[in-house]
Structure 1
Amino acid sequence: MTAKTYRTKSAKITAMQLPLDDRPAYGDDNFHSAGRALAERVKEIAVWMVENGHDGNPDDEDTTDWDETDFAPNGEPLPSWGINFIEFESSDGTLNARSGDWIILDADGTFRICKPNVFEETYERADV
């Protein structure tokens, strides 16, 4: 999964969409493997954020209880994330992106959240 470039009439942004939580019902043979795959896709977005300037989880200074899933490949801490969310700090306060939401990296380096319907109405692919 790679970040794509999108544009409005006035600005170009980079964005990634949190995958929809499409796991089968609990108890289904594929429930756990689908959850792991979903978590990997969400983690890719958290890593992308750190690689593009987000400072991860600066408030969590004690990382002794963390495991490798809490860090980007460069060793930086990731924003809080799970199977269907990413929570992160921005100039707008604490933001919580949920399944299906878009995380936008503005031209000024600010990460924001955009609901899918607003994103579709506002942006078009720029790198097609």
Structure 2
Amino acid sequence: MASRDWIDIESFEATDDIGQFDRPDIPRVEAILSGAPEREWQQFFQVRARALEQTQPGLRMEIIADRLGFHTRAAHIEDTCRLVNDAVQGTNHDYAAQRAAEEKRIADRDEEVREMISRIKAVNAGWPPEAGGK
């Protein structure tokens, strides 16, 4: 898998969102990602994010360019950052597994094509068939 497909969290930043009305009760944090994840990676992330959000009341994650925003309380910041990082790393593994399976399917098909070419060459070498075979 190409390195641009593997996303890491480089750092976390607290966002001063006092006065904003999204979630005035829970402060916002942004995870700075190692690169802007591709759309396909983000789709895998959404599956993990929604599953995590269901088990963690008040947690909501969204990817904006090369950042992943979420809300957490100071009392839970370390645990929440670990959960967010685990979601990113898990997405990397899910995405890598899907890509590996796709590459295997392509390799299997390529092998099938090579085998067919070899068989066609064998048929062609003996063409036309003997006329007395009727």
Structure (1/2) with the larger helix percentage? 2
Greater length-normalized contact order (CA 8 Å, ≥ 6 residues apart): 1
Please identify the structure whose Cα radius of gyration is greater. Answer: 2
**TM surpasses 0.5:** no
- TM-score, with structure 1 as normaliser: 0.28
- TM-score, with structure 2 as normaliser: 0.27
Structure (1/2) with the larger strand percentage? 1
